[in-house]
Structure formats: C-alpha cells, structure tokens
Structure 1
Amino acid sequence: SAQPFFRNALSALKAMRLNMDVPISLAIVLAAGMSVYETAAGGHHAYFDAALSLTFFLLIGRYLDHRSRAAAKSAAAQLSALEVPRVIRLKGDTRETVNLADIEVGELVAVLPGGRIPVDGIIIEGQSDIDRSLLTGETLPEHVTASDTVSAGELNLSGPLSLRATAVGADTTLRRMATMIDAAESSRNRYTALADRAAAIYAPAVHLLALVAFVGWLLASGDARLSLNIAIAVLIITCPCALGLAVPAVATAAAGRMFRNGMLVKDGTALERLSEVDTIVFDKTGTLTESTLVVDRLDRIPTKHLSIAAALAQASSHPVARAIAEGLAAEGIPPARVETIKEVLGHGTEGIFEGETVRLGSPEWAGASQDDGAGSALQLPDGTSIFLGLDSQLRPGAEEALRALAECGYQIHLISGDREEITVAVARKLGIRNVRANMRPDAKIGFVKDLTKAGHKVLMVGDGLNDTGALAAAYASVSPASAADASRTASDVVLLRDSLAPLTDLLETSKSARRRVIENFTIAAGYNAVAIPIALAGFATPLTAAIAMSASSITVLLNALRVRGRAVGGRS
C-alpha cells in the first residue's frame, strides 16, 4: 500500500532531487525495519503499528486530495464522456456505423432522437429540440432546424437530424472545453511554486533534524535504540505533506465550484490575480449587451406596416434586414403578401404591395430620416416612410452584476468601438460613469496599460476579436460564453452561461480561496512549530508522530473544501 510513496521517492532520487515522499519513505522503512529488529531481538518497542498508521493516514490524505480535485476533474471527465464512440455516417442512400475517429470535416452524420451529437456541425435536414444544459447551463431545450448549428455533446431530444460536420476530434467545442479544464488543473500559481520551493528546502532540513536527533540522543544517553526511535519520530512528524497540499487542494476545490456555477477557470494563476483586482473594464457590444439586435419601439408602428417590413426583410441577406426579419418573427408578426420582391444592390429590397411600390433599406433610398442607432427605412404604399430602429438588449444579469460590483468598491469602466451616444446610453442604463467610445483595438490595449501603470490591478471583460489584445494585456481577464475563439483563448476565465451574474461570485470565490491558502500555510507552519520541539525532546513515539502528521494534512484538506461551501453571491 505504500508503493506510491516508494515509487515517487525513487524517481526523485534518480533525478538527484528530494521531494516530500523521500522522508516519508525513509520513515516507513526505518519504522518497519526497526520493528523487525526489535521483534527478532525480543525487544519491547516494535512499531509496526506506526509504519502501518503512517501509511494509512497518508493514504487518507491522498484520497481527500484527489476528492478535493474531483469537482474540476469530474467536469473534464463528464465532458469527455459525452463523446459518442460510434457514429452513423451518411453516404448517398446508405448508412454505415463507424468509429467517431473516422469522421472527417464535411461528411454527413445522422443523429437519432435520444442520442448525443458526435461532432460540431450544421443541420442539413430535420428539426428537433436540443438539450444544451451540460455545455451552456441552460435548462430549457432549444428548437433547431435546417441551417442551425449544433455542438458535440448536446442531446438530441425529439427528432432525427442529418448534419454536416464542421469540426471533429480535438477541434469540437466539447473537446476544447475538456482541454481547457485539464489546463486549469495542471497550471500552478505563485503560491504553489512557493509551496514546492519550501518542500524542496524542507526535505533536506528534515533529514538533518533526524540526524541531529539521533546523534544528540546517542551522545546523551548512549542508547542506540532510543536514539533511532526518536529520529524516526522526527522524520514522521515533520513530513511536509500539509505544506505541499496547502495550495493545490484550494485551487482545485475553487475551480470545481466555479465550474458548477457556470465559470470555466482556464489558468490556475487566475485565482490569485482575481483576488487582487481593484478595477474592472467592460467591453460593450456582446459583453454588456447581446450581440443580436431587436426592433425597437414596435408598439408605435401599425401591424400592417410591420407585416410589409417582415416580407421585405425575409428576402434580404443583409445583416440589418435579417435582424429585422428575426425580430418581427419573434414577435409573431406575419409577413404580408408582397409581390415581385427584388434586392437592389447597395440599397435594400423592394416589391409591390396592393399595386404600390414598397421598399426596405437605406434611409436615403427609402426616403426617411435616420434616428440614432442602426436600422432600416420602410417606404409605405402611400409614399410616406418610417424608420425601423434596432437596439441591443442588455445581457442577462448585467444590471445585477454591475450593481453588486459597484457596491463591493470596484472601479468600473466601459470602453467600446461604438459611437459615443450609443455607448453613453448603455452606460447610463447600468450606472457606469467612466465611459470611452470610438476606441480601436490598439486604443483599448493602451487604456488597459495606462490603468496598470497607474497602479491598478485590471480585470478586462470582453468578447470580440478587437478585445483580444486588451484581454491579454490585463492583469486578469474574463470572456462570456458567446465570445470569439481568440478571446476565449486569451482569457483566464470563460463564463459558460449568457448571464453576467456569476462575475461577483467569481471575484468573491477568488478572495475566499486566497484566505484558505493563507490559513493552510498558517496551519502547516503552526503544526511544525509545535511538533518539531516535541519530537526532538523525545516525547513523541513513531505512532503518535504518524497520527499528528496525518491529522495536520487532513485538516489542511478539509479547510480547502470550505471554498466550495458558499451559495452564489454569498460570503465565506
């Protein structure tokens, strides 16, 4: 049962270095060897129970360590487990079941009701309800049909689908998320490095203390057995397990808790850096507001006019027209019977309604004055025109998050490449006073660097390609779930849900994690300050030393698990 410690110690010695398993292994071997000698010689001080107890308590500590890591690691395991090993590939009129690894980009795949989607793809045929809860956190199914995109790992609930693979293997959304979790597990922050350095210094110090104890007691008492027992007790009681577990247990417990609350921590160093943040810079479009636009002030426009706009918008591929078509469809506005619709390049679409020409397009072409913001003009059958404005909706949880962050004392900034009047309007809704508009990507980077030079620890929250540089330049960075791939790559944390509400919990949890780390270092240092003099004085047997050492390690691990004990937005 002690083989893991022996293997690690042997590997370290072969590499000409010391780790915490070296004194552990030495203590177990000496305790067992001394006990064999005592038994053979008819002595009264065999410590088989000490060797066994040391191994037992150490294994309990290792088990709790793995359990504290399980929250984040189980998330990666859950995502990986969603991969479908066998896939139905479509070739003409034939279907064949093949291994997932055999599917290539561009091939057609069939997904039956109740099955997991094996690859990222575009639906070619069929419609269904999709459960995306494990990837997005959303509990309600989403209806999809032809031309909609789906991701690997999502669950097909109701109807058969045929889709064309756009990403397979390591390039799928599912695999990328699992990879990011693994990266979060393996990364180490400054505290971890400190613990490792301390353990590296600690191991030779422990050996020296044990040697001093043996020589000192041998000179003082002349009893080799007593001296060796005390040296073994020193080796056991000073095992640096608690010190080595101080940081990893906290980091993994915090990462697992954040994942369950809809946040993916990509970088272990993010916890420390997030706990020191005093300034938060938000991008506007796609971060504080939704990326999609909706038709504004529909209640002021007659339904008949909106129906004409719906018919004309459906015939156009222009992004503004598509936004109008989708917005009106969402409001249940049916398209009117507009005939001979055609798209006029550079202007918009026009057609015939009740014998008269109607148009939807640029204000100059359709004869309307443009309001502030994006939109299109609609020319009616009587020749008059109205403007259909488009507005961005605030992202769910934005108001709640901004209010909570302001109450916590963070300095909030809003920066955007959009026009000043639009940016200021959003800032006013959210109560943000520090606003910068018309900012190019290099200006955003410069703004973040200027705040850093002024002594601030900046958290950047952004989603677009134009935010990538600012995300990388910031002290810490967060991207929403809808962010571009480059932005998510540059960020320390990715929000897995649409809401910004978890931001406050992210920052509170990072502070809680830092407190737990400091407490763990204090526990480890305090234990050794008390235990070492007791062992050197000869008041601890190898058995009591094993129990005391293991108790300190278990205390550190249980303290780390306290990071997970708070509700979202609560305090620890």
Structure 2
Amino acid sequence: MSSLGRIAPAPAEAVSPATVACAHCGAPLAPGQARFCCVGCEAAHALVSGLGLDAFYRRREAAASGGTLRPAAEPPATDFAPLARAEREDGVHGLELMVSGLTCGACVWLVEQALAAEPDVLRARASLSSRRLAVAWRGPNARANDFAALLARLGFRVAPWSPACLRATEDEEGRALIRALGIAAFGAMNVMLVSVAVWVGWDMGEATRAAMHWLAALIGLPVIAVAGLPFYRSALDALRARRANMDLAISIGVLATAAMSLSEAVRNGPYTWFDGATALLALLLAGRVLDRAARRKARQAAAELLALQEGSVALLQPDGTTRAVPVERVRPGDRLLVAAGERLRLDGVIEGTDAAEALLDTSATSGESLPRRFAAGDPLPAGGVNMGAPFRLRVTAAATDGSLAALARLLERAEQAKSRFVSVADKAARLYVPVALTVALGTFLGWWAGLDASWQEALVPAVAALIITCPCALAIAVPAVQVVAVGALFRRGVLVAAPTALERLATADHAVLDKTGTLTEGRPVLLPDPARDPASLRAAAALARASRHPLARALVRACPEAAAAEGVQEIPGAGLRRGAERLGSAAFCGVAAAPDEGMTLYYRAGSAPAVAFRFADRLREDAGEAVAALHRLGLSTELLSGDGTEAVEHAARMTGTGPWTAHASPEAKAARIAALRAQGRRPLMVGDGINDATALALAHVSVSPAGATDLAQTASDLVLRGEAGLAALPAAIVVARRAQRIARQNIAFSLIYNVVAVPAAVAGLATPLVAAAVMSSSSLIVILNALRAGREPHAWTR
C-alpha cells in the first residue's frame, strides 16, 4: 500500500510571535498568517512530518525564497505512466524526471527520503546540479503518477527528463571559469605567503630575498598565464573588433605587473607584485563566475520550454491499436491518440469522426485564462492540455520543427542579443585604456630616454602608473553600487537576476504589461450575488468537484465545504450532468438568449430556474497604483495579452493603461517588442507565463511578478516577490536610476583621482606603500558613495 494516503497531519506547534516566514517554503508571512503562507504549505509540512523527515528543515542551507517550495494549486497534468520503462522482467520500472525547486543538498535529501519511504521504491537518486531524478520501483507503471504527485505536494515541480535538459546543464565555459578561479585562488594564497615574508623581512639578505622573489615567480607566473585566459581571450576579441573593454584593461594591468615583477626578480629589486596580480585575478574571476551563473538561467529557460514536449505519445497503428513511442520518433503525417487530460507534445490537427472539436487549455502558450475550442481541421498548438474527450491528432511538424522548438530558438536568440548590452564600466574602459597606456608609455620613454635609466629601472615607474590607475578602482565603481542597490531592492521584495538589469531598468521608457497573472491575480473568482441561494451554490460546487475546468475549480474554492457528488458525467465543451442537474454553459442548461457576460456558469436542477454564477479574474490591488506611478516616472504603458477582448479592455480601463491588444500570441508579443526596439524605444516587459518568455527575453529589460512560471522567471531580469506586489516595480526604477547616477559619479571620481595620483607614479615615488594607500583610499571613497544607493527615498515615484 502506498504511503501517500496514510500520512497523518502533524500536531500543531506553538508559534512564536516573532515568526515571519512560512515554516515550509520560507516565504514571508502576510499579516494574520500564523505559521504557513498557504494551505498547500501546511499540507506539505504535515506530509514531511508524517514521513518522519522533519530534519529537512534543520538540514537545508537556506529557505527557498519567493515560494519556490510552495505547492502548486493544481496537481501535475502530465501522465507520467507511459514514460516509465520496464527495467527487468519481474515488474521493476524506472523513471527519470526533471525536478524544479532543488536549491540545496537538503532538498535533494528530502526528495530521496520521501520516495524511499514508499514501500515499493527500490532506489531514488537526485542530482542538485542537473536537477535530474532517477527512481526505480517494483510495481505497475501507473505508480509514476503517484511519485510525481508526492513531489508536487512537497512543492517541487516535475517534468519528463530529456537529452535537451542534459545538454542545458553541460556548460564547458562555466566549468573552465570555475577551474580558473580555483587555480587563481590557490596561487594567490601561496604567493601571498611568500610576499609577506619579503614585505616584513627588513633585515633579509639579498640572497634570501632573491630566493623569495623566484619562488613567488615560480608559483605566480603559471597561475597568471592559465587563470587569466578568460580575460586574455576576451581582450583579444576586443582588439580584433577594434574596441576596448574592461577585460583589455585587466589583461594589460595583470600582464604588465607580471612583466615588471619578473624584471625585478631578475635584478633582485626590493619588491615584486606577483601577489597583487594573482589576487586581482582571483577576485575578478569570482565575479565572472557569478555573472555566468546569472546568464546560464536563460539556457535553462529554453530547456524547460522544450521539456513540455518531451516524453512519449500514443501512436496509432494501422490496425487501430496504439503504441507508446518517444516524441523524437514521430514524423509529420503520423496519427496520435490524445487522451483526456494529456498534454499535446506536438503540433497537429484534429482528424477523424470521433470528435468534432477539441477543448484545450492553452494558457501555458497563449496566456488565455479559459480553455479554447478547436474545430476539426484547426491547427492545435503543442503545449496545450486536452480538457475534453479523447481525439485523434494528425501531426503536422516534428518536435525539432514545431512551435515550442521555435519559441525556444527565439528565446535563445533574444538572450544572446541582450547579453551584448554594453555596461557602464565597459563604456568607461574605452576612455581609460588609451589614456592609461599613453601615460605608462610616456613614463617609460621619459625615464629610459630622457633620464638615461636602464630599461628595467624605467619599467618600474611605468608599470606603477598602471598599478595606481589599475582597473580595480574603476571595476569596483559600478559593482559596489550594484551590490548596495540590489540589497536594498531585495529588502523591498525585488530580486535582481541579471548583472546589467539595473542599468537597463534605469533607461526604460515604455512599459508593456501582460494581463493574466500580472495585472490580475491569474485565477477566476466567484463574484458575490446577494440574491443567490446558498443551497444552489453548494449543489453546483458538488458537481464542479468532478471537473478540472478553471471555472469549476473557482466554484469549488468559493464553497469548499460542498461534498463531491457521485455519478457526475462531464460533457466536453458543454458542462456537467447528474440526473436532472446540469452545470455548464447557457445552452447546455437551457438558458435562452443569454447575454455575453464573460466568464459565467449556469446551474439548473430539473425544471427550476437556472442560477447564474459569474466570475472575474480579479485585478491586483496595487495594479492601478503601479501603472499611475509608471506614468509619473515618464514611462508610457500598453497592455498586451493573449486573453479575450472584453477582459483585456476592462483591465486596461480599470488600471489606466494606455493602448491594449487582445488575443496576442507568443510570436505577436515578441514581434511587438522587436518593433518597439526598432523604433528606438527601450521597452520594459512585465509578464508571468510561458507565452511571455520570448518577449521577456527580447525586451530591453524584463520583470516577472510573484507567482510567475519558472520559465518566465528564468527569462526575466527582475522578479517581484509575493509581499512586494506591482507597486515595487516603480520603486525599483527609482532605485535603478539613482544607482546609475551614483555609478557615474564613482567612475568620474576614480578617473579624476587616478589622474591626480599619476604624477607620483611618473616621478618614481610610487612605492608599494604609496600604491597601496592610494588604491585603498580610492576604493574606500567609492564604497562610501555607493552606500547612498540603498537609502530610503522620500517618494518611490521621484
């Protein structure tokens, strides 16, 4: 017997008045919430406690922020049973899944232990780096759905594993950066040990000092040659393109320091600077690794999009039977049987006489909040879920040529275009590099030719000028401001996910807003009606429990005490029926000449008058305020949604948004963003769904609200947490604009300060002590100025 049905709720624990985070997912609690942020987290905590796995909450390194572990309101729609493969002839099956939400080793431990508690599970292994889960059990393949449901109840999202997911986790460039960082850190620590002995060894003999210099060179030179390769390659690429970037400045500074240090070691000078070069590489590589991790999310977004179509499908045979085959083996013209509740993994059209139409939930790709009806012959998009009766599908495009693959390619191209954004630091480097090189070359020539010094002696003040004007001071000018600004936004509920997000957000001039899940809460709610009989609501909710339709779910949420009715029959595209009771469309319930009232269900019991249940996708409380604040900040707005005309027009009118467009497909949204950029605009895109991912990636800067899909969040530059609301968006713009002003001040100060310090280097007065004092004081002033970016503004909209 499965343990899924025998988990007893955990006993209630005393709650400290200081409790501010959900006991399961770690999301901040709203006023009035005692211990859990939602019913799903409370049930998940009870499940963990019932399994005896409470150690998870003590083991995890950090709570999942933003509701990462918050269980979804709906169970997984994918049927995982056909994906299970028979591993042995004695009934052992295996399944591989991609698990979203694994944030630390404790999450991996929880997944493995929760599955191991199932009596028929033989093994369960999860990988944190690739998010891949392999589970094997003895029993029918239908148990695969039970395991997926168990993980969903814990708050993890699951999808079929595929080679595309594996390829997304393979990142040779990322591994090379980590190797370079390890080499640089190891070398810097060891060279520092040798250099400290020289710095403090005032009575050290010349022979001992020479030995120390050559020992530092023996360690430092290979480290500089190998660990600096990422910067050297980038610098060479910049030179080939006839431009200067910060990597060119770093490469020149590091290599010049190494050359001067080697020269000093040859002539046994008083000091060498191998320690400074290796330490500089280690610090800069650490920042590069973090930057790479942020940009890697874009590739993961494309992999998760493709995961919607991975798995197997039911291929129809000539004799009428079906056979499960992988999606990759299906070709255009093949015929598939799409079961009720199954996700369409390939594009196609309805075929045959067994179904005149299909009812699909296309919210994942179109953004429409209600299912759409498709007639026979209409093109059906991959990614939709069959909400009606089974039907036959004739495939029109292979997996690699379908609509989902096209979206993934658009997403990748958009991210590559965004990665070419030139940062403020690189713009400053275009001025810094030629000036610094000219000063260093002039210093060298002046000492060597003008003062008759040897080339070794002339090299010391020349490189000292590069050290004093080292890109350390220039490089820290922008990151120091970003760290302060990102921390300030995090405390206000805004997560900054991209390295240049603040720079782009500060320059945005036009906001493109999605409707469903962005301006609205993203799920229908029953509108109150004082004239409605409560008994009718309970009867209708009892029927609604038999359906997965969004309006039926909303009806159940409005009356959770209603018990499920037995013997309910669902008529696809019409409604629910049990005896003389009916719940569904106006025509299905015999309501004549019903007006177009948007989202409405009717309930009729026998010959009694029909009762109308009207629904609305409620606007977020702060939607109007956020739009007004954007206008005050000088941004124009427009509403771009895949939902119907009436709903989009109402949302635009209630929030004061500018022009609006309804029935916008993912391709249309991306085309609109591209058109705005072609006009010279800098669009800010705000969206929450898979259908918004391409537009989010293509926009000048992108934001996803709380509750957005994983794909939308990974394609976004900023993510608004649940407690922040849309009002945090104009707040983030204010912080970003201030941060840009302070960053430019820091860059200007660094350049001016270095120009003042150059005469000391040119005159040969830049000893290591002087250079250290100059660089440290410059960095201190830059950091103190950067702290201003985090102060509380008088008004968010100024």
Q: TM (normalized to structure 2)? A: 0.47
Residues 233/270 of structure 1: CA separation in 2 closer, same or farther (3 Å cut): closer
SS at match of 1:412: strand
Query: Which residue number corresponds to residue 105 of structure 1?
Result: none
Q: 1:303 and 2:534 equivalent? A: yes
Are the aligned partners of 1:69 and 1:252 in contact in 2 as well (CA < 8 Å)?
no
Equivalent of 2:510, from 279, 283, 286?
279
C-alpha displacement of 1:312? 1.5
Range 364-373 or range 200-209, more displaced: 200-209
What amino acid maps onto 1:450 in structure 2? A
User: Within 1, Cα distance between the matches of 2:478 and 2:223?
Assistant: 20
C-alpha displacement of 1:454? 3.4
Equivalent of 1:438, from 663, 679, 701?
663
Query: Which residue number corresponds to residue 523 of structure 1?
Result: 749
Query: Which residue number corresponds to residue 448 of structure 2?
Result: 215
C-alpha displacement of 1:497? 2.9
Range 23-32 or range 433-442, more displaced: 23-32
C-alpha displacement of 1:269? 3.1
What amino acid maps onto 1:422 in structure 2? A
Are the aligned partners of 1:261 and 1:502 in contact in 2 as well (CA < 8 Å)?
yes
Are the aligned partners of 1:68 and 1:561 in contact in 2 as well (CA < 8 Å)?
no
Query: Which residue number corresponds to residue 239 of structure 2?
Result: none
Are the aligned partners of 1:187 and 1:269 in contact in 2 as well (CA < 8 Å)?
no
Equivalent of 1:318, from 543, 549, 563?
549
Are the aligned partners of 2:526 and 2:615 in contact in 1 as well (CA < 8 Å)?
yes
Residues 236/470 of structure 1: CA separation in 2 closer, same or farther (3 Å cut): closer
User: Within 2, Cα distance between the matches of 1:30 and 1:256?
Assistant: 44
Q: TM (normalized to structure 1)? A: 0.64
Q: Which sections of structure 2, spanning at least 5 residues, go unmatched?
A: 1-191, 196-215, 236-250, 297-415
C-alpha displacement of 1:294? 0.7
Query: Which residue number corresponds to residue 242 of structure 2?
Result: none
Are the aligned partners of 2:512 and 2:685 in contact in 1 as well (CA < 8 Å)?
yes
What amino acid maps onto 1:398 in structure 2? A
Equivalent of 1:536, from 756, 762, 769?
762
Encode CA deviations 1:214-248: one digit per residue, 9 max, x unaligned: 226624xx899997885575454333321233334
Equivalent of 1:374, from 575, 580, 599?
599
Q: CA RMSD in A?
A: 4.4
Are the aligned partners of 1:312 and 1:338 in contact in 2 as well (CA < 8 Å)?
yes
Q: 1:407 and 2:649 equivalent? A: no
Query: Which residue number corresponds to residue 267 of structure 1?
Result: 498
User: Within 1, Cα distance between the matches of 2:277 and 2:696?
Assistant: 44
Equivalent of 1:493, from 718, 722, 725?
718
Equivalent of 1:556, from 778, 782, 792?
782
C-alpha displacement of 1:381? 5.4
Are the aligned partners of 1:264 and 1:495 in contact in 2 as well (CA < 8 Å)?
yes
Are the aligned partners of 1:73 and 1:256 in contact in 2 as well (CA < 8 Å)?
no
Q: 1:395 and 2:620 equivalent? A: yes
Query: Which residue number corresponds to residue 241 of structure 1?
Result: 472
Residues 285/568 of structure 1: CA separation in 2 closer, same or farther (3 Å cut): farther
User: Within 1, Cα distance between the matches of 2:449 and 2:776?
Assistant: 26
User: Within 1, Cα distance between the matches of 2:577 and 2:737?
Assistant: 59
Are the aligned partners of 2:706 and 2:720 in contact in 1 as well (CA < 8 Å)?
yes
C-alpha displacement of 1:482? 2.9
What amino acid maps onto 1:191 in structure 2? V
Matches within 5 A, 1:21-100: 21-25=254-258
C-alpha displacement of 1:560? 3.6
SS at match of 1:360: strand
Are the aligned partners of 2:545 and 2:565 in contact in 1 as well (CA < 8 Å)?
no
User: Within 2, Cα distance between the matches of 1:225 and 1:489?
Assistant: 52
Residues 10/315 of structure 1: CA separation in 2 closer, same or farther (3 Å cut): closer
User: Within 1, Cα distance between the matches of 2:220 and 2:293?
Assistant: 23
What amino acid maps onto 1:361 in structure 2? G
SS at match of 1:395: coil
Query: Which residue number corresponds to residue 11 of structure 2?
Result: none
C-alpha displacement of 1:411? 0.5
Query: Which residue number corresponds to residue 175 of structure 1?
Result: none
Equivalent of 1:475, from 675, 697, 700?
700
Q: Which sections of structure 1, spanning at least 5 residues, go unmatched?
A: 38-46, 77-182
Matches within 5 A, 1:134-149: none
C-alpha displacement of 1:537? 4.5
Residues 6/459 of structure 1: CA separation in 2 closer, same or farther (3 Å cut): same
C-alpha displacement of 1:388? 0.4
User: Within 2, Cα distance between the matches of 1:60 and 1:571?
Assistant: 39
Equivalent of 1:511, from 722, 730, 737?
737
Are the aligned partners of 1:199 and 1:244 in contact in 2 as well (CA < 8 Å)?
no
Residues 516/57 of structure 1: CA separation in 2 closer, same or farther (3 Å cut): farther
User: Within 1, Cα distance between the matches of 2:284 and 2:705?
Assistant: 33
Are the aligned partners of 1:229 and 1:541 in contact in 2 as well (CA < 8 Å)?
no
Residues 55/11 of structure 1: CA separation in 2 closer, same or farther (3 Å cut): closer
Residues 475/323 of structure 1: CA separation in 2 closer, same or farther (3 Å cut): same
Query: Which residue number corresponds to residue 559 of structure 2?
Result: 328
Encode CA deviations 1:96-139: one digit per residue, 9 max, x unaligned: xxxxxxxxxxxxxxxxxxxxxxxxxxxxxxxxxxxxxxxxxxxx
Range 458-467 or range 6-15, more displaced: 6-15
Query: Which residue number corresponds to residue 365 of structure 1?
Result: 588
Residues 215/349 of structure 1: CA separation in 2 closer, same or farther (3 Å cut): same
C-alpha displacement of 1:9? 4.2
Equivalent of 1:343, from 551, 558, 570?
570
Matches within 5 A, 1:154-169: none
User: Within 1, Cα distance between the matches of 2:691 and 2:280?
Assistant: 49
Residues 397/259 of structure 1: CA separation in 2 closer, same or farther (3 Å cut): same
User: Within 1, Cα distance between the matches of 2:447 and 2:795?
Assistant: 54
Q: 1:447 and 2:672 equivalent? A: yes
Across the two proteins, how many residue pairs are aligned to each other? 440
Are the aligned partners of 2:444 and 2:461 in contact in 1 as well (CA < 8 Å)?
no
Are the aligned partners of 1:360 and 1:366 in contact in 2 as well (CA < 8 Å)?
yes
User: Within 2, Cα distance between the matches of 1:268 and 1:561?
Assistant: 18
Encode CA deviations 1:146-166: one digit per residue, 9 max, x unaligned: xxxxxxxxxxxxxxxxxxxxx
User: Within 1, Cα distance between the matches of 2:788 and 2:293?
Assistant: 18
C-alpha displacement of 1:341? 4.0
Are the aligned partners of 1:419 and 1:437 in contact in 2 as well (CA < 8 Å)?
yes
User: Within 2, Cα distance between the matches of 1:424 and 1:338?
Assistant: 37
User: Within 1, Cα distance between the matches of 2:459 and 2:675?
Assistant: 62
Residues 502/230 of structure 1: CA separation in 2 closer, same or farther (3 Å cut): same
Encode CA deviations 1:464-501: one digit per residue, 9 max, x unaligned: 23323433432222222433444334333333437222
